[in-house]
Every structure is written in structure tokens, then in C-alpha cells.
Chain A
Amino acid sequence: MARVKYASDFDKSVLLNNFDARGWVQVTPDDDWNFYWAGVHNIRNIFGVETGFRMGDDQVINHFPNHVELTRKDLMVKNIKRYRKELEKDGSQLAEKDETGRFVHLDFIPLTFMLPADYNLFVEEFRKNPNTTWIMKPCGKARGIGIFLVNKLSQLKKWSRDGKGNSFVAPTAKETYVISKYIDNPLLIGGKKFDLRLYVLVTSFRPLKCYMYKLGFCRFCTVKYNASVNELDNMFVHLTNVSIQKQGEDYNAVHGGKWTVENLRLFLEGTRGKEVSDKLFDEINWLTVHSLKAVAGVISNDRHCFECYGYDIIIDDNLKPWLIEVNASPSLTSTTSSDRIMKYKLISDVINIVIPPGELPDVRWCKVPAKEHYGNFYLLYDEDLAQADLLNQEIKVRAGAGNAMVRGARDLRKPSQATWK
């Protein structure tokens, strides 16, 4: 059996225990590694033009070079907007709009503008619906840092006065903000707001191959949700980030406010019925696939890369899921013991999918692991398989089964075995 040499930028136990359990050998990032679990900051250097680092066929790394296209808040929005426009231009059924001009199938991110670039557009939209609450987020930050809610233009003006010294210098990523319509009708359970953290593994963007992890979780606020204006400044009510909630006095260290997605499903199926819960989870899978398709064209699809994203999703009280953001480096710190076990399994399952079983990494490998190596992942979408399916169907149609007529838009959402269906 091959001794894999690994390097890691983190000394998190969920990673190291996994590598140890496989009998892998640790080396430094400068050595000749086979498997590198890198921090996002190092990715820039590794793939930077200056270093000219060339990877061998037996080397894999846990990030795509320009993952920011998906994982930076402003770029993700930009890419999704462009994706919709392109589909619309092609006359795709996916880009169907309803009478108010909203996309029927692709309306899965809250209305968002870039600041300061789109300031005028934002003001226009704000005047249309002056009673909406908006959420401001710095593009380059995570864990709820720098986030605040806005419901008056004056608040924004004040922020712009305080923040910007010189408006003539082009803002860097750190100073750019996105402002999004705040989902002020979140689904509440036990009166509390929560969001979903789901793990999505991508092994290739072109063709797209992605997997969804079954053991995602809900993160609950410790304080009752209250949409009133007075509570706009109380971040314990609005932000579910563990790093924020942990500071609250009601934080419970035993469960850390985390509830499994399986329990969410049990609850929804039990209290609202199977049909609506199936629809919700279908829509979550749907938005995940399309968020990835939206960036598939711009990501540099390096064969050495795979990436495990943390998807943040909020469900509103109509049971519609909204994609809030995607994290390139979801936290591997464990807050509770079940958390630790779940994350340990996550890493283990990721490794089983990206590396041929019992061998060294091999980028020439077809990247189609056997079903029994999926672990707790399930296949979300495999473009290769989907295309093969489509061909098969065409052949069948030509063979004379005349009734396979035009498939409706709804049908389009269910592209056979190549996906989670």
C-alpha cells in the first residue's frame, strides 16, 4: 500500500487524526507532498505566476486557484447574475421569468448590490421599497465580522463618511461591501432563527462533478427572533455564526446550538408533510448545482484540485431556501463532541472520494469513485453521466417511443440518475 505524504497548514485534530489513521507521513509544504490541505492564503502563492510551481500527477490540493469566484460574496453574485443573463440570451427554459420579471427557477440569492460600485442602483431599489431591511457585509471577511443591518439611507451615508477617507482611490476587496435584501421572514423553529451549513465537495468543474454531504447542520441563534426595528443592532438575534453566538450568555456548550439536518427533515416532514420537505431539499440541491454551474466557466479547472465548500443557506417561512454565501475554508474547529465526529467523518469521506482507494493520488484518474466510497456524501451532479443519460434518452426517442415529447420546465429539474435524484 502506498504511503501518502501529506502536508497541512492546519494542526486541527480532525485532519491530523484522519491522516494518521491512514498511515500517511507528514512532510512540510516545501517538501514533495502528495496531498496538501492548504489554507486559502497559501493557495495564492502556490498558484501564483511568480512561483511557477508545477505539480506532479501524484499531487492533489484542497483548493481551486481562483475559488474566490465562488467564495467571495461580490464575485459569487456577479457570476450568478451573468449566468442567468447568458441562459436568458440562449433562450433556455431555465431562465424563465414570471410576470414581475423574477426568474422562476434561478431566483435563489437575495437581491444584492455591490458597494460602492452599484450605489446608485441600490438607491433606486431602496426608494421602490423603503420599508425593507438590508444587510451590509464586507466582501473579504468571514465569521460575521463587520456585518450590520440598515433600514435607512442615512445609515449608509454615515457609514460611507466614516469609512472612506479618500473616495478617489479604487476600493480594494476589503473595503468593498455587498448589500443584500435581508431575509426578514426566516423560518423559525422554537421561535429561533437558524441557517444551514451544508458541505459540498467539488472534484471537477469542467465537467462538473459535485457531491452533497448528508450530515450538514442547522445553526441556531440563542435569542428569540424579533424582526422589530429596535432589535436591528442585536446581532445575537440576526446572525447565526457560531463565532458570534458563542459570545452570548445563553450559548450552550453541549450542543453549541447545532441541530442536524436529519432532525430538521424529521421535524418538517412530521409537522408539514413529506411533499413540502422533499421540495425544499430538492430546491437546495438545485440551487447548489446552479451556483456551481454559474462559476464553472470562469474557474480554472486544475486537475490537481478538489474543494470542500461550506454552503450557508437560509430558509424563509415559505420554505424557500436562499443561498447566502459559500465558504472556501469551512471551519474544522469542533465545538462539541458530535461536531468533532461529524467533521472527522467529513474529512475521511472527502479523502475517499478524491483519492483512488488505497493508492497515491492520481490526477489522470477518471474521478468516478465507486458508490461504496461515497460515505456520507451523495452525488449531486455529474455532467459526464448527465450527458450520457441525455444521449441514451435521445436514442430511445428516435427508436420510436413517440410520446416522449417536449419536457416541461419542471421536468428539466430532474435530470435522471446523474444527479441526486
Chain B
Amino acid sequence: MSTLVLLFNLSLRNILRYRRRNFFLFAAIAVAVGGTTLSNSLIRGWQVSMLETAVSGLTGHIKLQAPGFADDPSLQRAFSSDTQISLSQQIPVAGVTQRINLPAVISSERETRGVALVGVVPTQEDISLYRDLEIEGEGLTGANDGRLLIGKALAQTLQTRVGRRVVIIVQGADGKSRERGYRVSGVFDAPMRWPEKVLVFTGLDALQGTLAGDGLRDPITEISVVLSNEGDRAAAAAELAAAHPSLIVQDWRQMQPQIAEIVDMVEGVMVIWFFLIMSGLTFGLVNTLIASVMQRTQELGMLRALGMNKRLLLVQVVLECVGIMIVGVVAGLALGIVMVLALGDGIDLSAFSESVEAIGISTLLRPVLTVEDLLLFGGLSVLVGFFASYFPARRALKISPLMAMNR
């Protein structure tokens, strides 16, 4: 222990000895680690955004539908709103909402478009994208509100506005088309463009009244469940599937497999990106550290001559390298945190809205920094320091005690 303290002390003083050179080395490590921290926080933010988009885009973590509805969405494949959702206490639930979600056609005096007509209970929709809508005019006042809430993009296409009337054609429970005029209560602006083009909201009870037939009383076509923790998804899906054998239970990964694959890929992207940056840094680090050893050939030879064995010499060189790396990494992580905090409001990507929607994220990309990521990349950086120390250490081990005799 005493020897280790001695070597640590010696390494620390050697680091301080070449202040200028090591300052630039620290700066290079700090900028690389800080830049990687920032870029990885943006990649993590992208992942979180995709996940949130996937979950909040009416899917939820888990969705329950009648068999066959996904292939032929009609009210004939509805189920009763009396269906009760309950999960064990170990699985906290953020919210549950019932909806009718059917394909429909909307027409104004000028245009006609295909849309998804969604009957909602507004008070239950604080778990979906509905809560983030910026509404011009009035929102739906309740499940009995028979007016329509349409997207800004759709309103522009239809050349309609708040207070105007539009016509909706939708298939009823009896298989026959229902045609009804609605007043536009509000026009919503969503974080993404697709809901503005496709979704049309109305009150669930009002829609049930419109579509009522001889079949089910108060039918619904889906129940969406949002959990408090994504990690509980599989267990919750299993419980719900067991409790409701007559319904199809799917989680968001099954319903949006492409998004799920991208979310999984992000973990790998972060690690690859980290190693790309760090491998570039490692070359510079190794070069500088070898130069440092070469510069002190006589001094290290003297240590060998005095009786310091190779193992201790190795430890001393490694301690120096890792010491430099640790200081640089800590500074880099601090720099990264500061940059992430500076970008706390996120990066506005609305200028590229079409493109960013294609990759499943919102137009506001917020960096996300987790303690796990900081620890992982901090730890990996120090490991890189160990790796980088191999080369100067190997060089140091080749130094003969005779080098001390150089004059």
C-alpha cells in the first residue's frame, strides 16, 4: 500500500510536471468526452422521443382490440366499454383510455379526405398526444361533445376553419355508412405533422350515439394502456392477455416493429459512436504518452538501476496514463453536462419536420442524459486510458537500468 501511495504520488507530480503538454492533453480528452456526451445525449433523446412518439401516438404501451380489427377496422369488430382493465399492484399504470378509432371520410365544401375518426373521453387522454395539442378555437368539452377537433394541416387541405361545418362518412355497427354533419370546434397544432393530417377527434359518447345500431351498447374499438415504466411492458401484456382471452393484446413493439428496431439499434449506435471518437483520441493519447516515456528514458532507467522492478515501473506508467485520462474524462463529463444543460430546451427541427417524422421523432429534439450513460461512458473512457497506457508501459519496460548511465 505504501509503495502504491508512493507511485501514485510520483505519477501525480509527473503529471503536474509537464503542465503545458498535459493541459492540451486534458483539453483534447475533455473536448472528446464532452462532445461524445453531448452527441450521445442527443442520440438518447432521439431514442426517448421515438419511444414517446410510439407510445403516445394513440398506441400506448399496450393496446387491446377485438380479433380481426387490425386487418378490417370496423365497428363490427368492436367490444363493450364495460371491459375492465386491472393489473397487479407491482405494475403501476399511468392511465387507461377507451376509444372508437375508425377509418372515415371527411368532406368540406371544397375537399374530401380519408381520416381516422377517433371518439375519445378527453379527460382520459392525458396519456396520449391529445394532451400536447395546441388548439385554436375550443377543445372537446367532454365525451358527449359532438363537435370535431381537426388538425391544422387537414383544415388547410379542406380549406375550412373553426366554426365551419364538415361532413363525416363512417361505417356503422350494422355495416352501413353513416353520414353526418359536424361543426369544427377547434383546429389543433401537434408536435408532429401526421396527426394534423390524419386524426379527427370527437366525443366518444356522441360518436357511440351516432353509430349505434342493433349490436353492442356503447361499443369501443380499442383500449390503450400506458404504464409508468416501460420495463413492465411485457409483464403487463401477459397479465392482460390472460385476463382478456377474447381480445388481442399487443404492445407497441409488436404494433410498430420498425420503431422498436430503431430504438434497439440506438444503444449500439451510441457505443459505436463513442468508440469512433475515442479511438481517434487514443492515437493522440498513445503518441503523447510514448513521447513522455521517451523523454524520461534516463530517469526511468535510474529507477530501474536503483532497484525498482518492472512491475512497479509498469504500475507507475499506467497510473500516469490513467490519471491523465481520469482528469480529462471528469472534465469532459462536466463539459458535456454543461452543454446538455445549455441545450435543455432542445433543438428545433421543425424546418425538417417531414424528414424527422419519417424517423419517428418529434420536431423538438431534447438531449437526454442519464446517470447510467454517464457512468458507462466515463468507465469506458477510463478503460480506454488503460488500453492507451499499454503502449507507453511496454516501451518503459524495455528501458534498461543502463539508461541511467547515459550522460
Tell me, yes or no, whether A binds B.
no
**Chain B: residues with CB nearer than 8 A to chain A?**
none
